[in-house]
Each structure stands twice: as C-alpha cells, then as structure tokens.
Amino acid sequence: MTTSDITIKFNNSSIDLDVCFPLPTRGISGLFGPSGSGKTTLIRCLAGLEKSSRAHICIDGNLWQSEDIFLPPHKRRVGLVFQDVRLFDHLNVKGNLLFGYNRTPPSDRKITIEDDMKILALEPLLDKPPEKLSGGEAQRVAIGRALLTSPALLLMDEPLAALGEQHKKEILSYLKKLPKKFGIPILYVSHDFEEMATLSQYIICMENGKIQARGSALEVASQLPHIMDDWAPDNFIEGEICGTKHDQFKLPDGQLITIPPKFPASSPVRITINARDISLLRHPPEHHAGDALLKGRVKEIIKIQDEKNIIKISLAEQDVHVVLGLCGAEKPWLCPGSDVYMMINRIKLVQD
Amino acid sequence: MPDYFIPGLNPLILSLKLAGVTTLLLILVATPLAWWLSQTKNIFKPFFEAIVALPLVLPPTVIGFYMLILLGPEGFIGRSWIGMGGDTLTFSFSGLVIASMVYSLPFVVQPIQNAFEGIGRHVLESAWTLGARPLGAFFSVIIPLSAKGYLTALVLGFAHTLGEFGIVLMVGGNIPDKTRVISIAIYDHVETLDYSYAHMLSAGMLIFSLLLLISVYLINHRWRIRT
C-alpha cells in the first residue's frame, strides 16, 4: 500500500507555511481555509512552482522533493487546475487538450482522449478557440487537459470560485464522477465548506499557514466551532417510495414519513435532511399530523461549544446528526440510550 | 550586375540584403534579451532598458562615430573580429550589419519585450505542469503567443534599417556594391543634381515602404477580427 506524505515549511513576506500531513491516495481530499491561510502557497509548493526551503513531498510512493531532491514541475506528474483557467489562447480546445497528453510518455497514460472527452462532454467544443468558450466550458477543458497527463495527483485551486451558480453546479456534477472513473487522487482547494463537504471524504483545514484540523467534514466541523455557524452536515437516509400517491418514504425499520410525490413507487431513494432541519422532542406532540415524525435513539452527544451540540441518533441502523442549540436550560432527557422523536422540517430527495 | 542596366538596382538589393540580415540576426539577439528584460527583478532594469532605448534618441552620427571607433582595427570589436580571422570591419558589409544592429536594436527588442510582458508567468506555469520543459514551454507557448510582437519587431526592424543613412555614411562609406545602400545613392544623385535618378529611387522607396506598412496593418487587423 503506497502512501502520500507531505511536509512543507515555506516562508516569504506574506505567509509562513508549516504543514505536515498524510494525504489519501484515492478520492477527493479537500483543502479548506479562509483566504490568506496558505492554501494556494501549499498547492504551488506541491506542484513545484515555489521552491520551499524545507520540504519532504512523497506522492503515491514517488519522491518529489526532499532535502537534496527537487523535481521541477514538468517531472512531477502533477495536474494543476487554476481558478483563472489559463487555457492557451493560440491553440483551440483540441490543441489545449493534447498539449499535456502528447508530452506524457505513452506508458504513463492511464486516460484515453475518448474517455476524457466523454466524461467532461468536450466533444462539441473541440474546434473552438478558448475565447469562444463560456466560463464553465473553459474550466471543463482545463480539467480535461490536466487529466490527460494522467497525473499522480490532481490539484485544483478553487476551480469554481470564478463561476456563476449555474456553471458551479454543472462542474460539480462532473467533478464527482472523476475519482471513481479515473482513480486519480484529487486535492481540492476551496474556502466554501459546504462545497467541500459535498465533494470530499477527507478535509484538511488550514489557518495562518498551519493545519488546524483534518478528517471527515463532521470531524473537522466539530473541532472548529466557527464552521458550524454557516454549515451543518447533511444526513443521507436510505429507504424506498411507497403509498398510493407515491408520497410516502419507508425506512428499513418500517417507519413512514410523507414526502413530495416525485418518484415512482418501490424505487430505492436517498433522502437528504440537513442537520439543522430536525428538531428533537421527548414525546410525540398531542396534535400532530404524524407525517413528519421519526423515532430514533440517541447514540452520542458531541459538544461543539457552550450553546451548541451535535446529537448523533441511530435511526433504522443509520446515523443521523442533529445540530442543537441548548438555549440555556439543559435537557436532561437527552442522553445516550434514550429514545427521541425527530420532527423533520425539510427534505431533499435524491435518486441514485 | 552592372548598375547601368537598371539604375539603382544594386543599391536597392544591397539595402534589402542589409535590412534582411540585420533583422534576422537582431531577432536572435533580441529574443533572449527581451525575455530577460521582461522577467528580471534586477534593480538596474531601468538602466538596461535605457541602454537598449538609446539609439532612439541619439543622432545617428553619434552612434556612427562610436561604432567607427569600436569597429576600427584598433577598436574592441574590430580587433576581436580580426583576431577571429575576419577582415577589417570598417567600410565593409559585415561592419554595416553590426552597426545597423545597434541602430535598430530598440525597434526589435521593445515590441518583443512588450509581447512577453503581456503574457505573464502563469501561462508558463500551466505549460510546465502539463509536462513541458522550460525551453520547450518557451517555444511552444511563449513564442506563438508573441507572434504579433514578433511581426511588429520584424517590420519595424526591417523598415528602420532600410531607411538608415547617417550610420552607413560614417561606418560604411560609399563603396559601390559593398556599402552603397539606397539612401546613400539617393544622396549622391542629389549632390550631382541628377534629380531624375533621385526621384526614381525615392519614389521607389516611398511606395515600397508604404506597401510594407499596409501589409502589416492588414495582417494586424485580420488578427484582431479573428480573436
């Protein structure tokens, strides 16, 4: 089993970077932090565009940098997608895509041009010059161009930051497919925690050039209370559609809740409920309609800060997280092992 | 070919040859120089830029005078040239080429430097991360993206060398078929009050220069429409 280890110390007038962390060799890892926290500098050091004073960079078993070794960028097998796209204006889309491909030794090529074009829907763009592309199209070409070098690590420095909402969604849907399809590990930089949490299984959080927390989105968020101010985890609950009007969602343990009729009966679906959209009750309310109430059992209470907790609840063998402000008075009935009722205020539907 | 078959042909050919050779050699010299100027963070950069720009403001006779001294058998360039087995540089075609390169240097360096500066470092960085070696990235990305700058440099360098007079007179003299370029020939004809020849050569130069510039502006215009 190969690993990726990264240790970088780098300082100039604007940043004092000092990080050391292992990087997953598969999937999308997120690098999160406010602007000026050193994310871009870290990415540039990884790509070999900045010569850090002391660094040890070993990616998937290949040593890129150590005390007496410094591989220049063109020897690193690194892919880099910039926020500002940076296509070559003197080449059309096809020329841009082939630029890196032609410079990759045939024995290193893991991705074919056909696959690349197919997954990013690049075929209709091939003959266009870069200035005729929309922002989203150009970023797709930049991603496709970087992928075609079959990099050992693909770095993406806020690839969505310059795009509008529509293009953002479009690119995100392409990005999600990449790790499974090509098996190339991605390090994805963003200052948007929600974007990061939907994409990455592993998040590294930076501030002032240091790593503050790393782990799953929830682990990072529970270590850094300020993240919880704007973000709460999504819960994904598996089940199936039933009912004559296709408006019932049945959990594996038989509990039912009402959902908007959107999918045909007996189709397996995942519903998404944000941790903020659940309120906890000790008893079922006397006059409730019964259509948005689920019973679960408290597993764990994770304290975030004085007024805030994350309650982990077991619901039909699945974990559900609820963000709860205690608002002064403690609720003594909320303790591991006790049964609670969850009032669901908002549901999003996803079909796999 | 004797000059009297088609009057003015030999000086014209000599002028074109001088301008062509000078411009091509200048492109080779100016490319690394312009790249260095566009990238350096040296605090003396303004000083070097001023040196490159000097021929724009100096009277050609001043450049010509110093070139005459440098290229002469006792001068630094002339002595080294003879030391490498060359002939005397003064009053020769080779000497004329060297002097013209100095004279036209800013006209070639500046457009190329401007083009390089307009591209910026980030394009190079993309090329490197896509696997291009530093020199390969320069030739496959920087030079094509600077095509317009090179075209401007070529035309300005060529036209400016074609039109020089003072330096040629100082360094090259007026030796038929060797250093007697068209501007000198025109001067000669005017001196001997041979106005009809002077007219013919001058009009020829005027039309040729105009055509050259029109073609450049045409190409530039197309470029702008396409992009």
CATH number for position B80: 1.10.3720.10
Query: Do residue B130 and residue A149 have CB atoms under 8 angstroms apart?
Result: yes
Q: Which helix (H) or strand (E) holds A119?
A: helix A113-120
**Would the CA dihedral through A100, A98, B120, A208 be positive or negative?**
negative
Of all residues in chain A, what percent are helix, strand and coil, respectively (each to 5)?
A: 25, 35, 40
**Structure tokens of A58?**
């070993």
- What's the one-letter identity of residue A240? E
Residue span of the structural domain in which B102 resides: 9-226
Query: Do residue A88 and residue B126 have CB atoms under 8 angstroms apart?
Result: yes
CATH architecture for the domain at A234-350: Beta Barrel (2.40)
CATH number of A4-229: 3.40.50.300
- DSSP secondary structure letter of residue A19: E
pLDDT tens digits, residue range A243-282?
A: 777 788 888 888 888 887 777 776 777 888 888 888 888 8
Chain B residue closest in CA terms to A79: B129
Query: In angstroms, what separates the C-alpha of A76 from chain B's closest C-alpha?
Result: 8
Query: Do residue A49 and residue B123 have CB atoms under 8 angstroms apart?
Result: no
B135-148 burial string, b = 16+ CB within 10 Å, else e? eebbebbbbebbeb
* CA pair distance A339, B1, nearest whole angstrom: 111
Higher pLDDT, A32 or A165: A32
Query: Do residue A47 and residue B129 have CB atoms under 8 angstroms apart?
Result: yes
Q: Tell me how far the alpha carbon of residue B14 is from its chain's centroid.
A: 15
**Would the CA dihedral through B19, B22, B27, B33 be positive or negative?**
negative
CB contact set of B24 (below 8 Å; sequence gap of 6+): none
Going through chain B in order, the beta strands assigned E by DSSP cover none
pLDDT of the residue at A240: 84
CA dihedral A161, A163, A169, A175 (to 10 degrees): -60
In a domain, B101, yes or no: yes
**Percent of chain A at pLDDT exceeding 90:** 26
In a domain, B2, yes or no: no
CB-CB neighbours of A19 under 10 Å: 20
Which positions in chain A touch B129 (Cβ < 8 Å)?
Answer: 47, 49, 73-74, 76, 78-80, 146
Which positions in chain A touch B136 (Cβ < 8 Å)?
Answer: 103
Domain boundaries, chain A: 4-229, 234-350
**What is the domain count for chain B?**
1
Contact A74, B128 (CB under 8 A): yes
**Structure tokens of B60?**
């050609």
Angle ∠(A313,A316,A321) on CA atoms, nearest 5 = 25
Instruction: Give the closest residue to A302 by CA, choosing from A206, A238, A224, A237.
Output: A224
Position B140 pLDDT exceeds 80? yes
pLDDT tens digits, residue range A292-338?
A: 888 888 888 887 766 678 888 888 888 888 887 655 446 777 888 88
CB contact set of B153 (below 8 Å; sequence gap of 6+): B26, B27, B30, B107, B108, B109, B110, B111, B112
Query: In angstroms, what separates the C-alpha of B207 from chain A's closest C-alpha?
Result: 34
Query: Do residue B227 and residue A131 have CB atoms under 8 angstroms apart?
Result: yes
pLDDT of the residue at B227: 47
Query: In angstroms, what separates the C-alpha of A22 from chain B's closest C-alpha?
Result: 22
ipTM of the predicted structure?
Answer: 0.78
Instruction: Give the closest residue to A276 by CA, choosing from A247, A245, A233.
Output: A233
CB contact set of B88 (below 8 Å; sequence gap of 6+): B73, B78, B82, B95
Query: Do residue B227 and residue A99 have CB atoms under 8 angstroms apart?
Result: no
pLDDT grade for A72, boundaries at 50, 70 and 90: very high
pLDDT tens digits, residue range A193-231?
A: 888 888 888 999 998 889 988 888 888 887 887 777 777
Q: What is the mean pLDDT of residues B205-218?
A: 85
Which positions in chain B touch A80 (Cβ < 8 Å)?
Answer: 125-126, 129
